[in-house]
Amino acid sequence: MRVVISIGGSVLAPDLDARRVEEHAAVVETLARNGCEIGAVVGGGGVARDYISAARDLGANEVQLDQFGIDVTRINARLLIAALGAQVDPKVAHDYEEAGDAIRRGDISVMGGVMPGQTTDAVAAALAEYVDADLLIYATSVDGVFSADPNTDPDATKFEEMTAGELVDVIGDIEMNAGSSAPVDLLAAKLIERAKMRTIVLDGTNPDRIEPAVLRGEHTGTDIIP
Q: Name the residue nearer to ligand U5P (CB basis): 48 or 210.
A: 48
Do the Cβ atoms of 128 and 195 come closer than 8 Å? Answer: yes
Q: How far is Cα of residue 158 from the mean position of the Cα atoms in its chain?
A: 19
Total residues at the site for ligand U5P (CB under 6 A)? 18
3-state SS, residue 40: strand
Q: Name the residue nearer to ligand U5P (CB basis): 84 or 124.
A: 124
* Contact stretch for ligand U5P (CB under 6 A) within 28-36, 66-74, 129-137, 141-149: 66-74
Supply the minimum distance, in Å, between the C-beta of residue 119 and ligand U5P: 4
- Among 11, 123, 170, 214, contact with ligand U5P (rule: CB under 6 A): 123
- Classify residue 59 as left (phi > 0), alpha (psi -120 to 50) or beta: left
Q: Name the residue nearer to ligand U5P (CB basis): 68 or 146.
A: 68
Q: Does 150 bind ligand U5P (CB under 6 A)?
A: no
3-state SS, residue 111: strand
Count of C-beta atoms within a 10 Å radius of residue 152: 11
d(CA 145, CA 204): 13
d(CA 200, CA 195): 14
Show the binding pattern over residues 35-64: x = contacts ligand U5P (CB under 6 A), - = does not. --------xxx--x----------------
Residue nearest to ligand U5P (CB): 69
Residue 199's DSSP bridge partners are 136, 224
Q: Which residues bind ligand U5P (CB under 6 A)?
A: 9, 43-45, 48, 66, 69-70, 73, 113-116, 118-121, 123
